[in-house]
Structure 1
Amino acid sequence: MKKTLSLQLSPQEAFDQDTFRRVSLKKAGIQNDPQVFVRQTRRSIDARGRQIKVNVDAEVFVNENPGSLAPKHRDYQNVANSENVLIVGAGPAGLFAALRVIELGYKPIVFERGKDVRARRRDLAKINKEHIVNPESNYCFGEGGAGTYSDGKLYTRSKKRGNIRRIMEILVAHGATEEILVDAHPHIGTNKLPQLVAQLRESILQAGGEIHFETRIDDLIIADGELKGVVTQSGEKVKGLGVILATGHSSRDIFHLLQNRKVLIEAKPFALGVRIEHSQTLIDQIQYHCSTDRGPYLPPSAYSLVHQTHYKGVQRGVFSFCMCPGGFIVPAATAPGELVVNGMSPSRRDGKYANSGIVASVELEDIPSYHKYGALAALYFQADVEKKAWQAGGETQVAPAQRMVDFVEKRESSTLLPTSYQPGLKAVNMMEVLPDFIGHRLADAFQAFGQKKKGYYTNESQLIGLESRTSSPVRIPRDRESFEHLELKRLYPCGEGAGYAGGIVSAAMDGERCAEYLLLKYGNVAAEEAN
């Protein structure tokens, strides 16, 4: 017998297993017995009121095997001798595209310019400790893409893009805990993502697929309006049924290659700003309405903020981006001579600091002087601001920074706060680093955020710049129905780099869909099988 329950619980009732079991059985009217199994299937925290509530869906099994919430492994057919599908990039979009190609009976050949997750760590250490940026291996380039060394957030609003549950179950089968199937805003954590990514790789290789690390794509093989294959940096030519281009939002050389080869691309709006760092205790006090710490049961709190600003008669949004509770800030540059930061969190989110990108929308009409660059207008603007931030920090990976109230009141910070950012900070006037329209919008938004969240606007927080890789500044246009490039046949632009996703799950779903549509048109795959 199985009973389903919908409960509204206190934090202790929801997060303490013994208490949760007792409360659930009482609600179900079932005696406590070792043969009775109780589990949560959905959980979300409601912190809107003074008393924190946790909404929980649960299942109670009596004399019945509950099974697992998701399969613990997945079996893939061997495709070693099947036709090739080429995939450029081994981030979430590329890896999930490869697995879907295998499921549909074809052989994925994945090209990744960076290194595998283990080898990649040495280059990350060099960025943090020696300020040396390897343009082929960094926080953005390498196995798993930018998502490998991130908070591992799995929340997405892209519910029409694909089957979210399916993506979650594949992650569980490759090492993620079943908790990601339960939490309303699940995450994995930067400490656990590398092992999971390595398991995804093993599934691809064991099924007969190929993954080539430290292999950059430098040219395309185009004939008769079709993309026949790719050319690596060593000059090797590889052909396949089609190419899924899943290079991520920072592969500027790919955008230049497409433009040089007359492949249609478009300039795309994006967002730019800074990372804001507070103490996690302060954010907990704001979000959970507590005067001291959050207590033993509630997880470190996150926030989401948005404000519409008006500057010189133009309205633009300012919003929080990739908020990382209990996390740390890292240098995310992909080439020497630029300064970019990003945030991430370990699975327990137990660090002292909370950080979030606070970014302002950049529309193409905001940067008229860059229109001369055509489809690369926003890319050149982004690159110039990153160079300016690098110069402001002292031409190393030391980041320019300023306390929040000092920034808004146009006052230099005589001292900076302790930080999670390992390369270090330099006190500067961030208004001189940021584009004028960005700086003024951020200043307006910080004050508005302080009114929405009492205590948020404080000099006990600081701006750390520059947060500029929020999304791709270029879109590679594709047909809305077939996902194929509008002009170049057999090219399937995919994921964040093409302008069609914004996070691990949405990128993974986009990768799957690109694989399905490519093989539906050019492979021997029926529509019902692809869907």
Structure 2
Amino acid sequence: MKKTFTLQLSPKEAYDPEIFKQVVLKKAGLKSDEKDCSVRQIKRSIDARGRNVKVNVEAELFFHEPPTPRFDPPTKYQSVKNSDPIIIVGAGPAGLFAALRAIELGVKPIVIERGKDVQSRRRDLAAINKDHFVNPDSNYCFGEGGAGTYSDGKLYTRSKKRGDVRRIMEILVAHGATEEILVDAHPHIGTNKLPVLVTKLRESILDAGGEVLFDTRVEDFVIEENELKGVVTQDGEKIHGLGVILATGHSARDIFELLHAKNVLIEAKPFALGVRIEHSQNLIDQIQYHCEVDRGPYLPASSYSLVQQTQFKGKQRGVFSFCMCPGGFIVPAATSPGELVVNGMSPSRRDSKFANSGMVVAVELEDLPQYQKYGPLAAMHFQAEIEKKAWEVGGKTQVAPAQRMMDFVNRKSSSTLLDTSYQPGLASSNMDEVLPDFIAERMRFAFKAFGQKMKGYLTNEAQLIGVESRTSSPVRVPRDRESFEHPELKRLYPCGEGAGYAGGIVSAAMDGERCAEKLIEAYVKA
């Protein structure tokens, strides 16, 4: 017998497995010592709107029968070693899932990644943090798994129309992610567990006869009669395929410049830019969970989501939190020497004493009149100039400019800074030296509003660390809505965050799958 229950529980009841089992048994009218039964949670979400935090749980009880599997694991991938190849540029979530989907459809993927495999990549990350040395091909953005590998590993997406979210989750579980990601309303994996998972995704590609080429940077395209037939690497090697899925991520500026130089249609795209703001996790917990001391042993580190519309010189723009990382760390995310970029990540336990979030302002193309001379690269040049300025203000290393929150609002220099999770270190700076007026003034207004929405959020016990500029791609590589193919260059399939069509691990993965399906449908003979 199987029964399903919808419950509203205390955190202790929801997160202590033994107590949870007793609650379900009592609800079912069974004895607390009943042996021939099992219980499990299938959906879980936290409701912190009231003074007492509740956890909404959908649970299953199996009585006198074994529990059914949560999902059918994918069958072993078929061999595509001798099949026609397609080329996938980039081994982030979009590229890896495009490769797996190609294998399912009987096509051989050749994945080309400018960076290193996920284990070798660690040494280059350490060099950024300790020595302030940025390898332009191997960093927090470039390398196996892309920027998503060293991130919070958030798997929540609103992009339901892009593909099957559950399918992506199940593939991740089949490659080592915990089944908890199938349960939580806002699932995450954690930066400490993602490298192992990414390695297993690559092994599935290789075991099926696909190829993954590391330390291989695309520097040119093979274009014949307005069709993209392949790519040229930094060594001059030509790699041919039936088509190219371009899944390079939002930071591959050289690819955008190459497309522009080749007269391949691209477009400037609005994006968002601002700072990372860092509070103590305990303060955010006290605000969100209404607790006086700490959140206790059962609740996870709390998060927040904030948005505020602002006016500046007659123009309305949104200011919003982005990629909030509870119990996380701020990391240096530059992709070239001479620039400074910050991002956030969290381990699976989210047990750092810090909470950080991007706090960014929407940037429209009309905000950048002096950059219009760069055409479709206008927003990219603006982004790059701000990152260079942050590097200069911080001292021309990976030390980041920082300012306490109330000091920034009050236009006051910070005589001291707070402890931080950002390893390269902070330099007390006036963030107005880094941020343009139209961004800084909007942030000041929004911070005051956020302080009203979350009492205690606006405080000098928080600090701004700059700059958060890689929120999304400043360039869009256009594609047809139905075919996903570039409207002018045949056999080119722009994909994922870098092309402007996704915003996170899951949406990028789904986009990768659909690009593979569309390319194969169009150019692989049945």
For normalisation by structure 1, the TM-score amounts to 0.98
- Rounded to whole Å, the distance in 2 between the matches of 1:72 and 1:341 is 37
Is it true that 1:24 corresponds to 2:24 in the alignment? Answer: yes
> Is 1:373 paired with 2:374?
yes
Partner of 1:434: 435
Aligned-pair CA distance for 1:74: 4.1
Aligned to 2:171: 170
Q: CA shift at 1:71, angstroms?
A: 4.2
Look up the match of 2:290.
289
SS in 1 for 2:162: coil
Give the Å deviation of 1:35: 1.5
- Mapped to 1, the partners of 2:329 and 2:130 lie a distance apart of 15
State the distance in 2 between where 1:247 and 1:198 align. Answer: 19
CA distance in 1, matches of 2:345, 2:513: 26
SS in 1 for 2:88: strand
Residue correspondence of structure 1 range 308-319 to structure 2 within 5 A: 308-319=309-320
Shift of the alpha carbon at 1:65? 1.8
1:97 aligns with 2:98: yes
The size of the alignment, in residue pairs, is 525
**Structure 1 unaligned runs (5+)?**
526-531
CA distance in structure 2 between the aligned counterparts of 1:319 and 1:161, rounded to whole angstroms: 24
Contact 1:70 1:178 in 2 (8 A): no
Secondary structure of residue in 2 paired with 1:160 = helix
CA distance in 2, matches of 1:246, 1:166: 20
User: Counterparts of 1:353-372 in structure 2 under 5 Å?
Assistant: 353-372=354-373
- DSSP-derived class of the 2:264 partner: coil
Q: Which amino acid is 1:99 matched to?
A: L
Tell me, yes or no, if structure 1 residue 504 matches structure 2 residue 508: no
Deviation, 1:432, is 1.5
Deviations along 1:75-98, whole A, 9 cap, x unmatched?
100000000010000000000000
Q: Give CA-to-partner distance per residue, 1:272-294, whole Å, 9 cap, x none.
A: 00000000000000000111101
Retained in 2: the 8 A contact 1:73–1:174? no
Find the aligned partners of 1:175 and 1:190 in 2 and give their Cα distance.
14
Residues 400-431 of structure 1 show CA distances to partners (whole Å, capped at 9, x for unaligned) of: 00000000000000000000000000001001
CA distance in 1, matches of 2:30, 2:517: 47
Q: Look up the equivalent residue of 1:469 and give its one-letter code.
A: R
Query: Does 2:398 correspond to 1:397?
Result: yes
- Cα distance in 2 for partners of 1:234, 1:278 equals 46
Residues 71 and 177 of structure 1: is their aligned pair in 2 closer, same or farther, counting only changes over 3 Å? farther
Say which SS state the counterpart of residue 525 (structure 2) adopts: coil
Aligned-residue CA RMSD (Å): 0.8
TM-fit CA distance, 1:67? 3.0
Distance in 2 (alpha carbons) for counterparts of 1:60 and 1:31: 13
Look up the equivalent residue of 2:168 and give its one-letter code: I
1:101-116 equivalences in 2 (<5 Å): 101-116=102-117
Q: Is 2:19 the partner of 1:10? A: no
In structure 2, distance between residues paired with 1:338 and 1:295: 40
Cα distance in 1 for partners of 2:31, 2:379 equals 63
**Which residue is 2:485 aligned to?**
484
- The residue identity in structure 1 corresponding to 2:505 is I
Percent sequence identity is 75
1:175-254 map, 5 Å: 175-254=176-255
Residue of structure 2 in register with 1:528 after alignment = none
SS of alignment partner, residue 161 of structure 2: coil
Contact 1:74/1:170 (8 A) holds in 2: no
Structure 1 residue 70: deviation in Å? 3.0
What is the SS of the residue equivalent to 2:230? strand
Q: Secondary structure at the match of 1:96?
A: helix
Q: Distance in 2 between matches of 1:463 and 1:127?
A: 20
Match of 2:464 in 1: 463
Does the 8 Å CA contact 1:248/1:495 hold for their aligned counterparts? Answer: yes
Task: Give the Cα–Cα distance (whole angstroms) in 1 for the partners of residues 298 and 122 of structure 2.
Answer: 33
How far, CA to CA, are the matches of 2:217 and 2:501 in structure 1? 22
Amino acid at match of 1:459: N
Q: Report the CA distance between 1:296 and its aligned residue.
A: 1.0
Asked whether 1:84 is paired with 2:122, we answer no
**Contact 1:74/1:173 (8 A) holds in 2:** no
Q: Give unmatched runs, 5+ long, in structure 2.
A: none
Q: Distance in 1 between matches of 2:456 and 2:270?
A: 32
- Residue 69 (structure 1) shift: 1.4
Residue matched to 1:529: none
TM-score scaled by length of structure 2: 0.99
